[in-house]
Structure 1
Amino acid sequence: MTGGTQEAGRVWAHVGQAFAEWEYDVVVVGAGRMGTACALFLRRLAPGLRLLLVERGGLPNEEGATILAPGVWTALDVPPGREREAAWVRAALERDFGDVTFQTRALLELHAGEGEGHVPTADLLAHFPEAAGLLDPAALPWTRLDGEAATYRPGAVALACGQGAVRVGADLLLNTHAHLTPGGVRLDRLTVTNTHQIVTHETHELRAGVVVVAMGADGPHAAEHDLGVHTAHGRAYRQTPRLNTASSDRTPLLRAGGLTLRPQHGGFTLIPPIHHRDPHGYLPGGGRLTGVPVGVRRETLEDLIRLMDALPPLATEALEVGHSLADVPGAWLALPGGRTETPPVHQRLTDGVHLLLGGPLADTLGLAVASDLAAQIAGVRERPWE
């Protein structure tokens, strides 16, 4: 953290605001939680660097994976050896972002068989009566409990980090598509025609000493297409159906068969498991339920059907399956290393170009990995959690 007063950065939200810059020390492409956090941490560590944050949509982008991320911090998701990073992320979420509601909420990870650390589900339900009607203890008799799990909104984190970065001097360019080029980026400023088509209004060539590619699932593709650099990273399309069964501030999180029931907005958001990376060129398709087309993709539909006996509300009209894909929120999710269980990563692609990916474990480790990359660019060796 740097002291003193810093002049706020500039914001270009639409093409009516003239953009005449041609060089920055650092350009961060992507204003999801990973990109905005990296920009904020870097400006704090190296306030002398001129930094531009570029986003294809708004802040935060309502079509990105950040908005639809679970927002569940739990020690059960922390890989061995990364506990101190995860604890630092939790402390930062509780302490550093005043507009982010970070709420401790117990998580019950339900199992059909007994394992290490498991306790009888029936015993736990005496302490969590709000969960009693959501599951069948006979089908899921064993539970691993994380009493210190918590929920928050990753979109709020992205907004807080983005606004914080601007306050400490970062510039922000919205509604702009960035293409990676040798030594910088090409910026296509986007506008909407009177027929609702998104078109390029003007193009700028920008030099940059360092480019951070924080474009989520689009990042590896951009690196391969624009720079010809092969990466081993993948992506998957994840939807978040809605379960209109009543929840409250006291309702715990439930996780069974990889499916997470997250209490939200008086009901539940369903976060399905990711079984594998989607092949290149994949287009999400819906499934069928008793002969009726539904908007939930086939893999997710099969998961829900498999769990209907153990989680009875899934077999009722409370489950929103939609009639088209547009009815069920979904987004492409980055898979670091091409696998679903890999923590967030940053990777040097070429001289001056770094790839920053969140992925399925970004809720618990994303801020730490963004901070680590910012420190590397700033030339700072100390990590705040060490």
Structure 2
Amino acid sequence: MNGTGLSGQVYAHVGQAFRELRYDLLIVGAGRMGAALARFVMEAAPQVRLLLAEEGGLPNEEGASLLAAGVWHSFVPPEQRVRTERARQLLGESLNTCGVLQGRADPHPGFSPLRDFWTPELDALIDPEVLPFARLDARGGSFSVGSQTLQNAQTAVKLGADLMLNVRAELLGGGGARLHRLSVTNTHQVVVDHSVTLRAGAVIVAAGAAGAHLVEAGLGLITAHRQAYRQSPRLNLPSGPGSRVLRASGFILRPHSGGYSVTPPTVHPDPWGYVPSGGRLAGVPVGLRRELIESVLDNLEALPGLGGEGLVVGRSSADIPGAWVALPAGGWPLSERLDGQHWLLLGGERADLSGLSVAEELALEIAKLQP
């Protein structure tokens, strides 16, 4: 139980009785942002009675936390440098400093000839005639967002936070939520639903792409934030422990399990109710969304590796890893106070770069408000 100095309780299914109907703080969403916030709050204010509620498992296999590229680099605007550097400190040893290489088509301050950074695996990935300039962040690298999320949630529980999995939260005015606990019987046929109303002194919505919708449906508050569905196909070209992350033409190619994971640019926001589906390549149905196919075709000259047999296209969108991502207004991770008791916490596409520091800032703000 929170506030006792003992480890918190983990509620994984409806068979576990839940009687705590009042908390100081409810965090909706145990993805990368919610889990980090819970950890930082418990470190700053261990007396806080905190419940971290997650609709899926941990880390959620359908969420962006498990599929995120997990890439940190220092190629950011000056106004973001303090936050990104703090995020790197918080990443600590979980960051594999393999280096991040950014390619460019035209000369620019800070860029050098690409041949100065050339490595053998780049032969199959990039055309140096199209992208002849580059810069290298030797301090940059990659990390596992899923492992980081799990570790942060576990640390929060060890410090006294309660964690509830398989629960859908419906926000209530006045601070609190209607929690719908979900579980499936051992026949995998019947969904058991147990609902409970919980009050909380403060509620932080850290539900990623679904956050703005939860706030609108539960509190009637409209925000400027949006969402998109982003796929992360695999590129089966050789990579090794020392291979660098490549950023070029809006794509991120991250060395992963002997190949590369591909993070494409987000072309446009998806409306609520949109159902992701695959497109067609030369008239043949594939798993890549039409927008992703267009992005690949537009950049084949610069990144010829995307045009070979190594790119996994699948037969349906189910074959290609994908997840909903938040698109915070302004494009960078943020926290937004909605009223006297509710906050919205969003990571989005650049959560790798400054998400941890934004979560830490909000945690310190929340801690100051506790008695």
Distance 2:15 2:272 in 1: 37
Identify the range of structure 1 (263-272 vs 196-205) with the bigger mean alpha-carbon deviation.
Answer: 196-205
Pair 1:264 & 2:256 matched: yes
How far did residue 198 of structure 1 move?
Answer: 6.8
Aligned to 1:181: 172
Distance 1:140 1:56 in 2: 43
Distance 1:334 1:109 in 2: 24
How far did residue 280 of structure 1 move?
Answer: 2.8
How far did residue 134 of structure 1 move?
Answer: 1.9
Query: CA 1:132/1:317 → structure 2, altered by over 3 Å: closer, same or farther?
Result: closer
Aligned to 2:184: 192
1:349 aligns with one of 317, 331, 338:
338
Distance 1:108 1:70 in 2: 15
How far did residue 145 of structure 1 move?
Answer: 2.0
Residues 108 and 254, structure 1, Cα contact 8 Å, conserved in 2: yes
Aligned to 2:321: 329
2:246 aligns with one of 251, 254, 262:
254
Query: CA 1:120/1:282 → structure 2, altered by over 3 Å: closer, same or farther?
Result: same
Distance 2:105 2:47 in 1: 56
Aligned to 1:132: 123
Residues 52 and 170, structure 1, Cα contact 8 Å, conserved in 2: yes
Distance 2:7 2:304 in 1: 53
Aligned to 2:80: 82
Distance 1:194 1:51 in 2: 30
How far did residue 197 of structure 1 move?
Answer: 5.2
TM-score, normalised to structure 1, is 0.91
RMSD value, Cα: 1.7
Aligned to 2:5: 6
How far did residue 113 of structure 1 move?
Answer: 1.6
Pair 1:61 & 2:60 matched: yes
TM-score, normalised to structure 2, is 0.95
Distance 1:291 1:10 in 2: 53
Question: Secondary structure, in 3 states, of the residue corresponding to 1:66?
Answer: helix
Question: Secondary structure, in 3 states, of the residue corresponding to 1:296?
Answer: coil
Amino acid at match of 2:115: A
Structure 1: 5+ residue runs without aligned partners? 96-100, 381-386
Distance 1:358 1:291 in 2: 37
Aligned to 1:373: 362
How far did residue 199 of structure 1 move?
Answer: 3.2
Counterparts in 2 of 1:284-323, with a 5 A limit?
284-323=276-315
Counterparts in 2 of 1:111-122, with a 5 A limit?
111-122=104-115
Counterparts in 2 of 1:229-244, with a 5 A limit?
229-244=221-236
Question: Secondary structure, in 3 states, of the residue corresponding to 1:47?
Answer: coil
Aligned to 1:364: 353
Identify the range of structure 1 (276-285 vs 24-33) with the bigger mean alpha-carbon deviation.
Answer: 276-285
Distance 1:113 1:367 in 2: 33
Question: Secondary structure, in 3 states, of the residue corresponding to 2:79?
Answer: coil
Aligned to 2:151: 160
Residues 131 and 251, structure 1, Cα contact 8 Å, conserved in 2: no
Residues 28 and 54, structure 1, Cα contact 8 Å, conserved in 2: yes
Distance 1:300 1:227 in 2: 35
Amino acid at match of 1:12: Y
Question: Secondary structure, in 3 states, of the residue corresponding to 1:360?
Answer: helix
1:103 aligns with one of 81, 93, 96:
96
Identify the range of structure 1 (313-322 vs 265-274) with the bigger mean alpha-carbon deviation.
Answer: 313-322
Residues 141 and 244, structure 2, Cα contact 8 Å, conserved in 1: no
Aligned to 2:44: 45
Distance 1:346 1:22 in 2: 26
Identity rate of aligned residues, in percent?
Answer: 50
Aligned to 1:282: 274
Amino acid at match of 2:134: T
Residues 184 and 191, structure 2, Cα contact 8 Å, conserved in 1: yes
Structure 2: 5+ residue runs without aligned partners? none
How far did residue 110 of structure 1 move?
Answer: 1.2
Amino acid at match of 1:344: P
Question: Secondary structure, in 3 states, of the residue corresponding to 2:149?
Answer: helix
1:171 aligns with one of 151, 156, 162:
162
Distance 1:255 1:299 in 2: 19
Question: Secondary structure, in 3 states, of the residue corresponding to 1:27?
Answer: strand
How far did residue 122 of structure 1 move?
Answer: 2.1
Distance 2:191 2:340 in 1: 32
Distance 1:309 1:368 in 2: 37
Distance 1:138 1:66 in 2: 36
Residues 188 and 200, structure 1, Cα contact 8 Å, conserved in 2: no
Distance 2:269 2:368 in 1: 34
